[in-house]
Chains A and B, each alone.
Chain A
Amino acid sequence: MSHSRTGVKTLEPDSLNVSGTRAARRSLAERLLIGIAVAYAALLLVGPLDAMGWNAFAGGAGEFFKQVTSPDAISALKLTLLIAAASTAINTVFGLSVAWLLVRDKPFPGRGIVNSLVDLPFAVSPVIAGFMLILLFGRSGWLAPVADRLGIKVVFALPGMLLATIFVSLPFVIREVMPVWIQVGTEQEHAAYTMGASHLQTFWHVTLPAIKWGLLYGVSLSFARAVGEIGAVLVVSGNVSGMTETATLFVYRSLDDRNYVGAFAMALILAVASFLILALMEWLNKRPEIKR
C-alpha cells in the first residue's frame, strides 16, 4: 500500500500541470467517496454499537454490575468459557491431524473431497448444525442407542452444545494452519528425522514452533466463534437457565423476558471480549510468518 502511495505523490505535480481544474475536481470526488465510506460505516456500525453501550448503562453502573453478576449471568459466562475452551481444544488437536493429512501426508484418492468437507461448516446455517445433532441423537436418531448405552444425554444437555460448537468452529484451525504449514516447507522436518528425532519429537520441536503463529490465529478465531455462537447452541440446549444457558443464550432469554438492561449488559461483555480477541488477532497478523 505504501508503494502506491508514493506513486501518487510523485505524480501529483504532473497532473497539476496538465490541468489544475481536473485535479481540483478529483479531490472533490475523492472527498465525496471518503465521506460516503466513512458515513456508511458510522451509521451501520458505530451508531448501533454506541446505542448498546449507552443502554447497558442506562440504569447506572450499579445496575450493570448487578445484572452481570447475577447467579444466572455468572453461570452462563462460566458455561460459555467451558464450552469455548473445550471445543477449541478439540478442534485444535483434531484439526492438526486433518491439516497434516492434507499438507504432509502422501496424496490419496479423495483428498479434494476431504479438503472441501473441511469448509462445509462455513456453508451450513448454524441452526441446521444444531438440528443435525437433534436428528442424530434425539428420539429414534441413529446414534441415540449408542448414547443411551453409554448413559450420556446429548440433546438438551452439555454434550450436544459442545458438539454443536465444535461443528460451527471446525474449519478455523485447519484453514489457518494449512497455508503456514505449506509455506514452512519440509526441509527442517527432514533434517530433524535424519538427525534421529522421532516423529513426535520433530512435531513438538520443529513443526509446532514453525506453525505456531498460524495456529494461534486459528485458535483465537475458533475461540471467538465458539463464544459467540447462538443458533446451533439454541437448538440443542433446551434452554434451562443456569443449567444449559450460555452467555449468548442468556442474552436471548433476557430479550424475551424484556430484561433489556440484562441483555444489553451481557451483550456488551460479549462485544468487549470479541474486541479483545480481534486486537489479539491484529497483533498476530503483524507477525511476518502469517502475512497474507
Chain B
Amino acid sequence: MSAGSARLGGASTSLGPAAAAAGRWGLRLTALCYLGFMIVLPLSAVIASGFKEGLSAFWRDIVDPTAFGAIKLTIWMALIVAAANALMGTITAYVMVRYDFPGKRILNGLIDLPFAIPTLVTGVMLVALYGPQRTLGAWLTAHGMQIIFATPGIILALLLVTYPFVIRTVQPVLMEVEKGQEEAAFTLGASGWTTFVRVVLPALARAIVTGSLLTFARALGEFGSVVVVAGNIPGRTLTAPVFIYSQIESQSLRSASAMSIFLLAVSFCLIMLIEWLQGRKRKSYVAQ
C-alpha cells in the first residue's frame, strides 16, 4: 500500500502502483455498492412492486377515489403554497438584501430555522397554537375557522416547512443584480414600483420559479408536519404521502407502491426541470 516503498527499491515499484490500483478499485467498489444498496435497490423494489400486476392494475390503484382525492388535494395544497412562497419569499428576500433595519439578524436566523427544526416539531408547534384544545384554536373554531384537522392546517404546515426555499434562492441573485441599474431607472423618473417590475423582477424571474418549484416538490412529499395537523380524513384532508402510510398500515402494499411511483415520477420531472433552470451552476460540482 505504501507509496514510500515504491520510491525506494526497483523491485517494489511494480508492487506499489499495483497496491494503489487495488486500493483505488476497492474505494470505487465501496462507493458504488453503497449507492447501489442504499438507493438503486430500494427504488427498484418499489417500481417492481407497483407494476407487479401490470399497467392496468397500477392505473386502477391511481384512479381509485381515495387515492385520486389524495393526489388532487396534495397538488392543490402544493400549488397554493408555491404561489404564496413566490410572493412572500420575494418580498422577504428583497427586504433582506436591500434594506437595513433593527432585527435583521434575527430575521436572518429565523429564515434558516425551518431547515433545522424537525418537520414533526413544526406540526406540533401548529397544534400547540391552533389545536382545538388551545386558547386561540378554540376561539377560531368557535368563530367557524377550523385550522387543525382541516386544509388551513395543511397549508400552514407546508408554508412553515418550505419558508426558506424561495428566499434563499432569490437572495443571492438579488445581490448580484446591479444596485446601480435600479438606481438609474429610479433617478430617470421611474417610480419604485415600475423600477421593481421592469428592472428587478425580470432578473429574478428564474430564481423565483426555481424556488417555487423546490417548494412544490417539497410540499408533494411532506409527511411529518402534515400527518400531525391534517386529521387525515380520506377524500378531505388525506394527502398523498399520508395515503401511502395508511395503505402500508392496512397491508395494501400494491396501492402504496402505485402512489409512491406516481410521487417519484412527479418529483423526478420537477428535479430535472429545476436542474435545467439552474443551468450550469449544478454541473460545476462534477466538472473539476
Q: Which residues of A come within 8 Å of B, CB atoms?
A: 1, 4-5, 7-8, 11, 14-15, 18, 22, 25-26, 29-30, 33-34, 36-38, 40-41, 44-52, 54-55, 94, 97-98, 100-103, 105, 111-112, 114-115, 117-121, 123-129, 131-136, 138, 141-143, 163, 166-167, 170, 175, 178-179, 182, 193, 196-200, 224, 227-231, 234-235, 248, 251-252, 255, 260, 263-264, 267, 270-271, 274-275, 277-278, 281-282
Q: A29-B192, A97-B27, A118-B35 are in contact. Are A34 and B99 (CB under 8 A)?
A: yes
Q: Are A251 and B3 in contact (CB under 8 A)?
A: no
Which residue of B is nearest A179, CB measured? Answer: B285
Interface string of B89-101 (1 = CB under 8 A from A): 0011011111111
Q: A4-B179, A227-B118 are in contact. Are A135 and B128 (CB under 8 A)?
A: no
Q: A34-B95, A196-B7 are in contact. Are A52 and B125 (CB under 8 A)?
A: yes
CB distance from A234 to the nearest CB of B (A): 7
CB < 8 Å neighbour of B112 from A18, A125, A278: A278
CB < 8 Å neighbour of B260 from A1, A8, A128, A142: A128
Inside 8 A of B68's CB, which chain A residues have their CB?
A: none
CB distance from A58 to the nearest CB of B (A): 9
CB distance from A31 to the nearest CB of B (A): 9
Known: A38-B107, A48-B122, A131-B244. 12 other contacts (CB 8 A): A26-B192, A37-B95, A41-B107, A48-B129, A52-B124, A114-B35, A198-B1, A199-B23, A251-B121, A260-B131, A270-B121, A278-B115
Inside 8 A of A45's CB, which chain B residues have their CB?
A: 110, 113-114, 160, 163
Q: Are B124 and A251 in contact (CB under 8 A)?
A: yes
**Cα-based distance from A14 to B260 in the complex (angstroms):** 59
- Counting residue pairs across A and B whose Cβ atoms lie within 8 Å, the total is 284
Which residue of A is nearest B33, CB measured? Answer: A94
CB distance from B86 to the nearest CB of A (A): 13
CB < 8 Å neighbour of B271 from A15, A119, A141: A119
Q: Are A128 and B46 in contact (CB under 8 A)?
A: yes
Range of interface residues on B (Cβ < 8 Å): 35 or more
Q: Within residues 25 to 65 of chain B, which ones have a CB less than 8 A from any CB in chain A?
A: 27-28, 30-32, 34-35, 38-43, 45-46, 49
**Cα-based distance from A104 to B173 in the complex (angstroms):** 30
B120 CB within 8 Å of chain A: yes
Inside 8 A of A55's CB, which chain B residues have their CB?
A: 128, 134
CB distance from B19 to the nearest CB of A (A): 9
A-B contacts, 15 of them at CB < 8 A, read A25-B192, A36-B95, A48-B129, A51-B136, A105-B28, A123-B217, A123-B264, A131-B46, A131-B248, A132-B42, A179-B285, A196-B4, A229-B224, A231-B119, A235-B245
CB distance from A110 to the nearest CB of B (A): 9
Q: Are B34 and A94 in contact (CB under 8 A)?
A: yes
Q: Are B45 and A51 in contact (CB under 8 A)?
A: no
Q: Are B285 and A278 in contact (CB under 8 A)?
A: no
Q: A33-B94, A41-B107 are in contact. Are A135 and B125 (CB under 8 A)?
A: no
Q: Are B223 and A125 in contact (CB under 8 A)?
A: yes
**Cα-based distance from A231 to B118 in the complex (angstroms):** 11
Q: Within residues 228 to 267 of chain B, which ones have a CB less than 8 A from any CB in chain A?
A: 228, 240-242, 244-245, 248, 253, 256-257, 260, 263-264, 267
Q: Are B28 and A101 in contact (CB under 8 A)?
A: yes
Q: Are B267 and A124 in contact (CB under 8 A)?
A: yes
B20 CB within 8 Å of chain A: yes
**Cα-based distance from A120 to B263 in the complex (angstroms):** 13
CB distance from A81 to the nearest CB of B (A): 14
**Cα-based distance from A163 to B38 in the complex (angstroms):** 8
CB < 8 Å neighbour of B187 from A18, A25, A34, A134: A18
B180 CB within 8 Å of chain A: yes
CB distance from B236 to the nearest CB of A (A): 19
CB distance from A97 to the nearest CB of B (A): 4
B268 CB within 8 Å of chain A: yes
Q: Are B117 and A228 in contact (CB under 8 A)?
A: yes
Q: Are B121 and A127 in contact (CB under 8 A)?
A: no
CB < 8 Å neighbour of B224 from A94, A112, A231: A231
B175 CB within 8 Å of chain A: yes
Q: Are A166 and B38 in contact (CB under 8 A)?
A: yes
Which residue of B is nearest A229, CB measured? Answer: B118
